Amino acid sequence: MIENLYPEIANAGSLAKALDKQFETIKSSLRCTIDHNRDRPPFSYARVENNKRVSQVYLAADEKLYLSDFWRDGVCLAYGQTSSIDKLTEILNYWLSSDATTELLQDKFKFIKVSEKAKAFDDNNEVEYTWNSILNDSSRTEIRSFVELAIIDNVLSKLFPFTSLMRLCFSRCTGYPYTFDTPMVIPVSENIYEVRLSNNDIVGIGTATDALKMVKENLPLDIQPAIVGTAKDL
């Protein structure tokens, strides 16, 4: 069925080979990377990257659609879909071979959907934006009293916060993979928090004020504000 929807892919042998052929046609230096993940058949998945930008492409099963995402510095910022491999190649080349913002990407290709956080990342305001997102998240009220203190702290407020299940974690970079060398905070009950080290050892339990103190006392000695990028960049 998929082969019938995508004859250009069937003729090339895989999505990656078909895209590489298109890149050659438009004289682009981009080429798909080799992906050894067996859960992603080469016929229906491809990955293209250039510097700190990455796009993944998938094939829809029930209709002819190329589904793509657009990453920069370890953060997925936009999604798109098109039935044309020519248009797909044009989009990928534009995103991966330039320094275009997500706003420019969406202006040029109207069917691109930009995530809510994209503008903050375009404007280098991702740390403040993410802290405020967690603070105002109605599903994260159990961590709010701690966040209200951390967001005005001159050290923690400059680290990139992220949640993992019930845990509030702090990264020294803004993209995935994050760093995991700082303490984490876990809500226990109203305004009571447990602080654990990255190896899962328990530091202690206390109020939001106590937890803030415990976190800061157990940060790496050379802690600096989060950088744009991933743990690989540190």
The verdict on 11 and 109 lying in the same domain is: yes
The verdict on 106 and 199 lying in the same domain is: no
Task: Name the domain boundary from 118, 133, 166.
Answer: 118
Task: Name the domain boundary from 88, 118, 148.
Answer: 118
| pLDDT > 90? residue 62 | no
- 41 pLDDT band, cuts 50/70/90, is low
The verdict on 10 and 85 lying in the same domain is: yes
- 53 pLDDT band, cuts 50/70/90, is very high
Task: Name the domain boundary from 93, 118, 143.
Answer: 118
The verdict on 107 and 148 lying in the same domain is: no
The verdict on 7 and 112 lying in the same domain is: yes
- Tell me the C-alpha to C-alpha distance, in Å, between residue 149 and each of 8, 33, 137, 173, 210: 56, 44, 16, 21, 11
Question: Residues 195-221: what's their mean pLDDT?
Answer: 97
pLDDT tens digits for range 78-137: 999 999 999 999 999 999 999 999 999 999 999 999 999 999 999 999 999 999 999 999
Residues 6+ apart with CB under 8 A from 81: 60, 65, 66, 67, 68, 111
| pLDDT > 70? residue 42 | no
The pLDDT assigned to 71 comes to 98
- 167 pLDDT band, cuts 50/70/90, is very high
183 preceded by a cis bond (ω within 30 of 0): no
The verdict on 68 and 138 lying in the same domain is: no
Question: Residue 148, SS3?
Answer: helix
> Distance (Å, rounded) from C-alpha 184 to C-alpha 180?
9
The verdict on 68 and 136 lying in the same domain is: no
- 4 pLDDT band, cuts 50/70/90, is confident
Question: Residues 202-208: what's their mean pLDDT?
Answer: 98
Q: Which residue is listed with tokens 């603070």?
A: 135
The pLDDT assigned to 39 comes to 52
| pLDDT > 70? residue 35 | no
The pLDDT assigned to 40 comes to 57
- Domain assignment of residue 172, given as a range: 124-233
**Count of structural domains within the chain:** 2
> Distance (Å, rounded) from C-alpha 18 to C-alpha 85?
9
pLDDT tens digits for range 179-199: 999 999 999 999 999 999 999
> Distance (Å, rounded) from C-alpha 11 to C-alpha 119?
40
The verdict on 129 and 101 lying in the same domain is: no
- 36 pLDDT band, cuts 50/70/90, is low
The pLDDT assigned to 34 comes to 73
pLDDT tens digits for range 6-25: 999 989 989 999 999 999 99
> Distance (Å, rounded) from C-alpha 177 to C-alpha 174?
9
Task: Find the angle CA(176)-CA(181)-CA(183) to the nearest 5 degrees.
Answer: 110
